[in-house]
Every structure is written in structure tokens, then in C-alpha cells.
Amino acid sequence: MIYYLFTLQLSGWEFLAFILAYFLAVAFAFSAHEFSHAVVANWCGDKTAKSLGRMSLNPFKHIDGFGLFSFLLVGFGWAKPVPVNPLHFRNYKKGIRLVSSSGVITNFVLGIIFSCLYFFISPLLNLNNVFFEFVFFFLMIASTVNFSLALFNILPIYPLDGFNFLASFLKPDNKFLQFMYRYGSIILLVIIILPIFDLFYYYVVGGVESLFFDLWRLF
């Protein structure tokens, strides 16, 4: 994100518009992700998140300051996980699958919506106006961030949603699960530090965005 700012060569007001758009887009994407976990967990019978005030789109309920700062610096961050007690689910395994997939689905749907808005609205904006520049930046960043969160979270690496979804189909003593419980956080750290994350971002996230832009060109 810092590198991207340097390549844009923005003026003072443009820089502020970009920063504000970035923070709002990231905060909304994180909040929507965690909110969906809380709502689905409540539907499945666990009211833990609701009782703690996490069934809300208020970003201050979900944002982790360090996680948001990390996203600003390196493009990878996190929100405060919604507390979930699967023992309260009416159907244990089904509940885990629904809650785990809800955040990914929410971000993916938002990515589709924002990519559509960006594709059709951005050509109409007068970018000599700082407000319209803010709208342009927000739609662009919101599309990318939501696709990034959705696609990264489907990876079957502990403690990501994709891992929890997969774990609901496997036995607790499964060797893959035990390996991930022990080394998943280290694997994530390696992915972030090495160029693996950049390759994932460029080819996977960029490829999905390009796919939808090609789709919108058909209309």
C-alpha cells in the first residue's frame, strides 16, 4: 500500500482522499466479515457474539488497531475474531460450516458489487474534484480488499475460515489438522513475509477482479 501511494504521486488533498477511502473500505470489509459470522452464529443457536455486542456493522466493535495498521503497511491485516461457541449450535458441524463460510461469502459478494460499481461509475467521475476522487478510490479499494479477504480466507490454513470449514469434515485426530494446529500460524507468517503473498495478490486477486471486469464489459 505504501509503495502504491508513491507510484500515484498524489497532491495533498488527493493523498487525504486516498487514505480516508482506504481506511473506510478496509474497516467496512472487516466489519462486514465479522458481522456475518456473528449473525450466522446467532441463527445457528449461539448468542455469544450477540451478547457481546458483536452483531453490529459498527467498525469500532470489530477493528483491531494493530491489524488495521498492518493492512495499511503491508496489505495484510485482521479484525478482532468474533467469539463463537459451537457447543451452542443446534447442529454442531453444520453450524461450523455455515459460520466459517459466511465471512468469505459476504466479502466475495461485496467484492462483486463494488467491482461492478467501480466499473460503471468511475468513468463518469470528474477526478478534478476531491470528493469524486474519494469515491473513485473507495470503490476501487473496496473491490480489491473484499476480494482479497474472501480469497485469502478460503485457504485451508489454521486459523483461517477455510481451515475451520475443512476441519468440520475431518476427525479431530486427522494428521493434517494436527499439523495445521501446530504450524498454521508459522505458515501464514512465511506466506506474508516471502513474495508468496504478493504473487497471490497479483495473480489470484487480480485475476478474479479482471474476470469480473470482463463480465461487466458484456453489458
Residues with catalytic roles = 34
Residue with cell 465479522: 34
* Residues in contact with 48: Cβ distance below 8 Å, sequence separation at least 6, in sequence order: 41, 83, 84, 85, 88
* Residues in contact with 89: Cβ distance below 8 Å, sequence separation at least 6, in sequence order: 41, 44, 45, 46, 95, 96
- The distance of Cα 191 from the centroid of its chain, to the nearest Å, equals 17
**Rounded Cα distance, 191 and 208, in Å:** 20
**Rounded Cα distance, 206 and 9, in Å:** 22
Cell of 38: 456473528
